[in-house]
Structure 1
């Protein structure tokens, strides 16, 4: 879907530029260090899923994208993919289990995982809304015996309106 690339950038920018999001990331980074009693310089891979869950909990009522598009925290597979993406940007290779994320990398991880989760949920909403509306428009077209061109134009306009609505709601 062409929508997802620019939507990903839009969502990522919203998270990166959000003071609430950055503050929550910094607080969670410190909490992760405290949980390991500062034995490591950063957040360990095994801490990332629970850190993402706590971040979700702290952002759910305050950040509009999280409140609107993330009813549940990111999944384990989303956190794992985000970790791999962040570490591979650093070293250009697959991560190992003993690598930890510093403050900036943890923030990049959080942006990555929340961006992926928001865009995935927006894509699901789009794929759920369009077919229902198309079926309704086609049904009305059959009942009213409208021309195929008119029904096709109405379907196109509806699909474009739904896609635009979803895309515009991805700005905080």
Structure 2
């Protein structure tokens, strides 16, 4: 499958014109709240920014991958985690200090935030679907008195199929 699902989703988001447009809009909105008096968006504004991004990407300008995999706005802990990841990276834009982030970092943060949320929800989908199918395969194996090697192989093929299905769904959700 090559590249990890998380990296693939983040690449899809980074290359999405709709996602970038939403980021620009929310960044401008956050700057307007401070009347453009500061060089960037304050870190404390990011919870509001995440809710505004979610609103735009699910209602105003629906984005297919967000609609499919993100059922609610990111939590405060997800927002904090994403900003922690982004601020640990080398600083690429001049609009960042310890209190504000510039437009490039804002987009990095948004990609990290929503990319991680999508990947986490996809992992949950795998963990929900696999046990149900495994139980069914084991049940059929017991009833038919199939060998444990055959049942084990069927379980492996089923689990791989579910994981592949979800991975491919992530890859094609943006189309």
TM-score, normalised to structure 2, is 0.89
Aligned equivalents of 1:158, 1:48: Cα separation in 2: 41
State the shift of 1:90 in Å: 3.0
Paired residue for 1:94? none
Paired residue for 2:106? 106
For this pair of structures, how many residues does the alignment match? 165
Return 155-164 or 140-149, whichever deviates more.
140-149
Paired residue for 1:70? 70
Aligned-residue CA RMSD in angstroms? 1.7
Secondary structure of the residue that 2:90 maps to in structure 1? Answer: helix
Deviations, residues 133-157 of structure 1 (Å, cap 9, x unaligned)? 1011101111121221221111111
What are structure 1's unaligned runs of at least 5 residues? 92-96
Aligned equivalents of 1:36, 1:136: Cα separation in 2: 57
Paired residue for 1:158? 158
Deviations, residues 53-96 of structure 1 (Å, cap 9, x unaligned)? 110111125211101100011111111011111111135xxxxx
Paired residue for 2:53? 55
- 1:8-157 pair list within 5 angstroms: 8-61=6-59, 62-90=62-90, 98-157=98-157
State the shift of 1:29 in Å: 0.3
Secondary structure of the residue that 1:151 maps to in structure 2? Answer: helix
Asked if structure 2 preserves the Cα contact closer than 8 Å seen for 1:44 and 1:98, the reply is: no
What are structure 2's unaligned runs of at least 5 residues? 92-96
Aligned equivalents of 1:89, 1:159: Cα separation in 2: 35
Secondary structure of the residue that 1:39 maps to in structure 2? Answer: coil
Paired residue for 1:7? 5
